[in-house]
Structure 1
Amino acid sequence: MTDLTGAVPAHLPPRLTISLWDFSWYTRAEPGGPFADLDRAFAETVERGYNAVRICAAPLLLFGELSHDGRPLASLARDLSIEGLGVAPGGGFYGQGTRWYDVPGDYSLDVGARLLELFEAASRHGVVVILASWEYQQSPAFARSSAWFEAIHAVPEASRYELLAASWNRMLEHLTTAGHRDTIAMVELHNEVDFSLLPDFAGVTVTRAGSPEPASGSHALSGIQAVERLRAAHPDLLVTASWGKPPHLAMHQLPDGLGAAQFHVYSYGVLDALQQRLDIRSEGSEGFPNAALRELLRPDAPSPAEYGRADAWKFEATVVTDQMIYGYDQLDADRWDTWLYENYGPYRAVMEREIESRTIAIAEWARWKGVPAIIGEGWIGYTPLHGTFEEGPIGRSLAELGIRTALEHGVWGVVLCSNAAPHHPMWADVAWQRRLTAEILAHP
C-alpha cells in the first residue's frame, strides 16, 4: 500500500523530505554559526535532497499582541538578544555538550525580519516550510531576557490555545501579504502539545470512573477548537498540532478535526535504560551524580556545585533539567556510546517493533481520517551532542526502518532523523542523507 493517507494541496511536493530546523534558525545564527547565512543553509539542505524544513516561527513573540512591563513583546522581537543558557564557569557555556541547547549566543536579531528572509530564501531554493511553535516548550529559554517567557506564561493556561490561534491567524495573513502563502506546507498550532505547558488538547479530563468531563476553564478554546478555527479561516492550508508520543495503542482517543497527522516516533529503548541508570533526566536527586554516571564523566569534570547552573527561569521555560545539562556537558561521549553499543542487543527487537508499529498506527489513523500524514521527528531520542550512537550504523538502520515503513503505508512526509539538520554533527554525513532523500522522493 503506497497511496497517500490523504490528499495534499496540488502545489506542494508529492513527497516531503524534512529537515528539522526547529528554533535553531534564529538561536544558532551567531557569526559563523550553522544558520548565520540562510542562503547557504538552504543550499546545503537542497544539496542533501531535502525539500521541506520544519521551524518554530515564534507566532506568540511576533503576533501575540502581548506586552511585558509595558513594552510590547513585538518590539522585543525586533532586537531579540540571544544568550542561550548562559556562560559557564571556566569558559564555555551551559548546554555546550547538548543538542539544541548548545547555543553560544551573544548576538541580537530582528526575528520578524529574519522570518521573511527565511521564506524568501526558501522560495529561491524551492523548499517549503512547516510552521510550528515551540514557545510553550523551550524557545524563550534561549533569550537573554525573561520577558518573552514571562509574557506568554502570564496568560492563563485555559486561554493559551486561543492565544495561539489568534497569533497564527495574524502571522498567516502577514505571510500571505508578503507573497509567501504557497511556501507554507503545514501549520501546527504547537509542537508536542502533550509535552508542553498547555492544557489538555481536547478540553476534557477523565474522571476516576473513566468518563470525560469538561476541563477547568473550558469556556476558552480547547486545542482542537483552536485548530478548527484556524482551518475555517484558512481552508486552503493544512492545519494541525503535533504529539511527541501519540497514543499508538489507542489512536481513536485523538480528537476529530485535525487537518493532518503530524506525529513523532521515538523508540528510546536502550537509551532510556541508560538514562534511568544514570538518573540524568531528573532534578534534585540526592547524591547526584550517582556512581553509574560518575563512571561515564570525563576525568576532569567539575562537581555540580562547581559547575553551577543556568538561571532558574530558563529551566521553567524548557523541558530539560539541570542534571541533564550537567551530565551531557561533562560526559565522555565515547564511554556513553560504548555502553549503548554493549547493551543494545536485548533492546533491538523491541525498538524495531516500536518504530514499525507506531509508524503504522499513525498512518492507519491518518488513512481512517482521510488526512495526510507526516513523521516530523524520530527515531531514538535525545542523545548528547557528541554521542554518535544515533548517527552510527544502528541508529541509521533504525531510521531507515522507520522511513521505509512510513513510505509503505502512505506517509506523505518524513524526517530522516531529528539530528539530520545544519546544527547537528550528522549534517556532515552527506552521502547517507542523499541516498535516503532520493529513495523517499522516488517512492510512488
Structure 2
Amino acid sequence: MTMAMWDATFLQRHTPDGAFADFDAVLDQTVERGYNVVRLDPMPQYLDLSDPDRTIAFADPRPREGYRPWFFDRPVSGPMVRWLDEFMAKLPERSLHYTLSSWWRFDATDETKVIAKPHTHVEAADLWLRFLEQWSERYGFDRLVCVDIHNEVPYFLPDFRNRIQRETGSDWSGPSFSPALIDFLASDINEAMDRLRRAFPQLQFTCSIHGDTRWLDVPVELDCLDVHFYADADPRWVARTRFDHFMGHGMFQRDDWFAEFSRRCGDAHRAIGPMLRARQRAKLFAFAGWARQRGMPLTTTESWSTWYYFDHADLDWSWLLEWAEWSVQDAIDAGMWGWTPHNYLQPQFEQWQDVDWHQRLTRTFLRS
C-alpha cells in the first residue's frame, strides 16, 4: 500500500478556496501520483452521522497559528457530514482505499458540539463503536483497510499522559517502560481492541505509535502495526538541528527560526546522513521483526525525517526529499505492507505538484 496522510484536513479545507475544494480533482491527483490508500480523521468526537446537517465551525487560526501545515488554515464552518457524504461517494469511483484515524483534537469554536471526550482507549473504543455503527449504515465498510482509534499513543487522548503518571507513577520520558506502565498500556489498549473486535469482527483495529523501541516490550494485541519513524528519535539529529528548542518556541506561530532550522537540517544531513539512516533502518527492522512475531502487518502513514515543515522561502526541502527517497528501499527491505514518503502528501504543499517524483517512488514500492 502507498499511503497518504490526510486526517481531518480533507474536511477542514473543503472550502471554496481551500486545498480540498474539489474532491474529484484531489482524488484523481492522488491516483495519478501512485497512492492507493488515504488516511482520514472523520472526527468522531464531533461528527454525528445521524445528523448530517449539524454545523461544525473552526475559527481562523492565523492570528495565533499562521504557520500550520495541516488541519484548517482559515475559518471554516459547514455541515461536515454532508461534505463527508460527498467524499465517500467519490472515493470508491477510483482505485483507492482508506483508513480511519483520530487525533482527538478539540478545537471547534462551539464546545457544545463535542459528542464525547475520551480519556482512555477503552473510552475511545466506546465512542468508535457508536461511530462505526453509523458508518456501517451510511457508507458500509468496503475499501476500509483499518481503524486507528488513537493516533500516536500516548500523545493525543486528553490527559492520557497525566493518567499514566497518576496510575503507574511512571514518567513517559524514562529510558524504559516500567512493569506498571507496560501493564497499564497493554490492559487499556487490549481491552479497547477486544471491545471493537467483538462488535466488528470483519474490521482491523490498531493504535498507531512512534518508532520508540520501548514498545517492543508491551504485549499489545493489534491487528496491524502503524509505526511513525521520525528523525527526532535520534539525539544526534536533535542536537544538530535544535529541533526540540524550535518546536517549543514558536511552532505554528513564528517563522523567524525557519532559516536557522533549515540550515541546521541541511548541515546534519550532509554530515551524518548515512549514520542517521543506518540507525533508523535498524529501528525499522526491529519493529518489522516484532510485527512478524506478533502477526501484525507493518505500515507507516507518516514518517522519516522531520514531522514539522512548511512551504516557506527560508525552508529548503531538498534534504527532506532525499531522506524520503532513502525510505523506499528501506521499507521494501523490511517487508513493510504499507509505506509513505513523508507526511506532506496534501495538495496545499508545493511538493505535491512534482508528479514525476511521486510516481517514481510509488512505482518502486508497488513493483517490489
Partner of 2:128: 168
Question: Which of 190, 194, 200 is the equivalent residue of 2:150?
Answer: 190
1:225 aligns with 2:195: no
1: CA distance, partners of 2:46 / 2:218: 28
CA distance in structure 2 between the aligned counterparts of 1:102 and 1:25, rounded to whole angstroms: 9
Q: TM-score, normalised by structure 2?
A: 0.85
Q: How does 1:5-404 map to 2 (within 5 A)?
A: 16-63=1-48, 78-85=54-61, 87-88=62-63, 94-100=64-70, 103-105=73-75, 107-135=76-104, 139-141=105-107, 143-148=108-113, 152-153=116-117, 157=119, 160-196=120-156, 197=158, 199=160, 205=168, 212-213=179-180, 222-243=188-209, 245-248=210-213, 250-268=214-232, 272-273=238-239, 276=242, 279-282=245-248, 323-328=250-255, 330-331=256-257, 333-334=258-259, 336-387=261-312, 392-404=317-329
In the alignment, structure 2 segments of 5+ residues that lack a partner are none
Identical-residue share of aligned pairs (%): 23
Cα deviation, residue 238, structure 1: 1.3
Greater RCO between the two (CA within 8 Å, min separation 6)? 1
Name the CA distance, whole Å, in 1 between partners of 2:116 and 2:241: 31
Q: Give yes or no for contact 2:238–2:244 (8 Å, CA) kept in 1.
A: no
Q: For residues 329-355 of structure 1, what are the alpha-carbon distances to aligned partners after superposition, in whole Å with 9 as ceiling and x for unaligned?
A: x45x55543343234333323321232
The alpha-carbon deviation at position 103 of structure 1 amounts to 0.6
Task: State how far apart, in whole Å, the 2-side matches of 1:361 and 1:50 are.
Answer: 26
Residue type of the partner of 1:386?
Answer: D
* 2:12–2:72 Cα contact (<8 Å) kept: no
* 1:390–1:396 Cα contact (<8 Å) kept: no
Which amino acid in 2 is paired with 1:170? R
Give distance in 2, aligned partners of 1:381 and 1:202.
27
Q: 1:133 to 1:81 in 2, by over 3 A?
A: same
Q: CA deviation at 1:20?
A: 0.8
The residue type equivalent to 1:166 in the other structure is: D
For residues 432 and 152 of structure 1, the distance between their equivalents in structure 2, rounded to whole angstroms, comes to 41
Q: Is the 8 A contact 2:52 2:80 kept in 1?
A: no
How far, CA to CA, are the matches of 2:48 and 2:164 in structure 1?
A: 24
Q: Using the TM superposition, give the Cα deviation of residue 116 of structure 1 relative to its aligned residue in structure 2, in angstroms.
A: 2.7
Q: Secondary structure at the match of 1:353?
A: helix
Task: Give the Cα–Cα distance (whole angstroms) in 1 for the partners of residues 360 and 150 of structure 2.
Answer: 31
TM-score (norm 1): 0.71
Which of 287, 306, 331 is the equivalent residue of 1:406? 331
Question: What CA distance in whole angstroms lies between the structure 1 residues aligned with 2:260 and 2:182?
Answer: 46
Deviations 1:298-335, CA, capped at 9 Å, x for gaps: xxxxxxxxxxxxxxxxxxxxxxxxx323333x45x555
Shift of 1:80: 0.9
Q: Tell me, what secondary structure is at the counterpart of 2:67? A: coil
Alignment coverage as a number of residue pairs: 357
Corresponding residue for residue 320 of structure 1: none
What secondary structure sits across from 1:96 in the alignment? coil
Partners of 1:267 and 1:132 in 2: how far apart? 23
Q: Deviations over 1:275-294 (max 9, x none)?
A: 637832336xxxxxxxxxxx
Which blocks of at least 5 consecutive residues in structure 1 are unaligned? 1-15, 65-73, 89-93, 284-322
How far, CA to CA, are the matches of 2:139 and 2:77 in structure 1? 26
Shift of 1:251: 4.2
**In 2, Cα distance between equivalents of 1:387 and 1:345:** 21
Q: Give the C-alpha shift of residue 404 in structure 1.
A: 1.6
